[in-house]
Structure 1
Amino acid sequence: MNWILLIIAGLFEVGFTTCLKLSNNFSNLKWTSGFLISVLLSFYFLNKATETLPLGTAYAVWTGIGAVGTVIVGIIYFNEPANFWRMFFIATLIASILGLKFFAGSSH
């Protein structure tokens, strides 16, 4: 369950970074509200996940999910580049996230 909470936290991180871009420097109330809600939920679920997961592992996976998800959103919705090297390093980051998940020790 703790890994599911961590994945949810990471997805809300993608939400808050996307809303941050769309908020137009916090001048758009709808996207600013989405940003604030996503930040609160992301940190809430991250906090819940760190009750049972090692803090360093949880933080690395949370930021990794956020980074990969934000790059994917950027490519799909904001026409950011998807060249070979960018995709190569995103794949490396995904492999690192999976490695942390599968080889993380228990905190208890």
Structure 2
Amino acid sequence: MTTTNQNHQGSGRAWLMLLLAGAFEIGYALSVGGSQAFTVLSWSIAAFIFFLLTLYFLSTALRTIDVGIGYAVWAGIGSVGAAVLGSVLLDQPLTLVQAFWLAVIIAGVVWLKLADSVKLQEQVG
């Protein structure tokens, strides 16, 4: 396997780790909300577990992905996911204006990923 292939696979694995970190961040945010200021034991334990998982997967992803890009994507996934799932699962209101700005965050995350792909292509070429 060539170095270029290895770099591409490493980058793909890092992005997968970042997506998992984002998913666990959503779980953490929802668990913290359900814990009612850490007074409900089951939700508090879930929040602690999600917290550890999100930090582990984020730190693994940031070995390969630039910190600024990785952190922005992770925060975007967590923000959008918590807002959408909070609306669906916890009956929290989500207005049209909030949905618009969440869409802007999603567009920014996609743009950051595309920018990282361009950077990878420049390294290969």
Bin for the TM-score computed over the shorter chain: over 0.9
Taking the aligned partners of 1:32 and 1:76, their CA distance within structure 2 comes to 21
SS at match of 2:27: helix
- What is the Cα deviation at residue 80 of structure 1? 2.1
TM-score when normalising by structure 2: 0.81
Q: State the superposition RMSD in angstroms.
A: 1.2
How far off its partner does 1:82 sit?
2.6
Runs of 4+ in 1 over 4 A off after TM superposition: none
TM-score scaled by structure 1?
0.93
User: In structure 2, how many angstroms separate the alpha carbons of the residues matched to 1:48 and 1:25?
Assistant: 29
The structural deviation recorded for 1:27 is 1.4
Q: CA deviation at 1:6?
A: 0.1
AA aligned opposite 2:98: R
User: Larger deviation: 81-90 or 11-20?
Assistant: 81-90
Aligned residues with identical type, % of pairs:
35
Unpaired runs of at least 5, structure 1:
none
Report the number of matched residues.
107
User: Which residues in structure 2 correspond to 1:1-108 (within 5 Å)?
Assistant: 1-104=13-116, 105-106=119-120
Q: Which has the higher helix share?
A: 2
- Opposite residue 30 of structure 1, the aligned amino acid is S
Which 5+ residue runs of structure 2 have no aligned equivalent? 1-12
Deviation at 1:60, TM superposition (A): 0.2
Structure exhibiting the larger radius of gyration computed from Cα positions: 2
Choose between structure 1 and 2 for higher RCO, CA contacts under 8 A separated by at least 6 residues.
1
